Amino acid sequence: MRLLVLLFAIAMPVVAWLSNTGTFGPDNGTMSDRYPTLLVAAGYAFAIWGLIFLLDLVYAVWQTTGMRKTDDTAARIAPWAAAGFALTTLWMPLFSMGQFWLCLLVIFAATFCLIRCAMILSHDRTPQEGQWLWAWLPLSLHAGWLSLAAFLNLAQVVVAYQLASTTHQLPWSLVLFALAALLLLMVNLRMRGNIDYVMAALWALVAVYVKQSDSGLPGAQTAAWVAIAIAVVLLLQTVLLRRKYPGGLLPNPARAPD
């Protein structure tokens, strides 16, 4: 399983490069522009994938070396990480080929897998040396970005298949914003204020604000400020949780393991 983690960590940037060169069809940016929504983020935000892919690769190498070879926590997260990386890899060509329903299933499954990894690491009472930097950071960033990207993808499915109004998107977009906020706040609470998870989510939310501030879609200005409001609430929650649980990765020793 450790080898699969490494192989899929290598596959993600390779398939991303192939997708951006048009191997599977139009690149992700072109496909996204065909279905404008009130949840889409500014193009610069997607550069975070480069950092995520790099850190995931570092994590994949790290978990195959030294004491990690026999570490129980590394073994527990390996299947989830391998699945999350595989699903992330699969999503890219599916999106280029316009397989939006499959994309939706894949991205939510990937989100679940990466959140599971981050949660296991966040509740590890005996972390390996370097675990925060080489495992918690990469997987939390990946999980945080996907937690927003999944709902951006959902909004594009709604527009692509005209499941709701494409000219007055604000009502149903607010529902998606609320669901995304609920997921972010619940997951962050469970992880007692995961800064890396939150930073990826904040990056996405600010990029949504930037994009929607310049958008001509009806309701875009409202959507922009909703994104900022979610970001502020998430940031405040994180500050409060970090004050309550200053131990970082380690949970409160007075609590039973989750």
SS (H, E, C) the chain: CHHHHHHHHHHHHHHHHHHHCCCCCCCHHHHHHHCCCCCCCCHHHHHHHHHHHHHHHHHHHHCCCHHHHHCHHHHHHHHHHHHHHHHHHHHHHHHHCCCHHHHHHHHHHHHHHHHHHHHHHHCCCCCCCCHHHHHHHHHHHHHHHHHHHHHHHHHHHHHHCCCCCCCCCHHHHHHHHHHHHHHHHHHHHHCCCCHHHHHHHHHHHHHHHHHHHCCCCCCHHHHHHHHHHHHHHHHHHHHHHHHHCCCCCCCCCCCCCC
Long-range contact list for 241-244, CB < 8 A, 24+ apart?
A: 241/188, 241/189, 241/192, 241/193, 242/192, 242/193, 242/195, 244/192, 244/193
pLDDT at 123: 84
Indicate if the pLDDT at residue 31 is higher than 70: yes
pLDDT at 254: 37
pLDDT at 258: 42
Q: Render pLDDT for 168-200 as a digit per residue (tens, 0 to 9).
A: 999 999 999 999 999 999 999 999 999 999 999
Residues 6+ apart with CB under 8 A from 25: 31, 93, 96, 97, 98
Tokens of 149: 């990207």
Residue 65: Cβ within 10 Å count:
10
For the segment 74-91, the average pLDDT, to the nearest whole number, is 96
pLDDT at 238: 96
pLDDT at 184: 98
As a whole number of angstroms, the distance between CA 95 and CA 104 comes to: 9
Of 123 and 155, the structure prediction assigns the larger pLDDT to 155
Q: How confident is the model at residue 132 (pLDDT cuts 50, 70, 90)?
A: confident
As a whole number of angstroms, the distance between CA 29 and CA 33 comes to: 6
Question: What's the pTM?
Answer: 0.92
**Where are the domains positioned within the chain?**
2-244
For the segment 101-126, the average pLDDT, to the nearest whole number, is 93
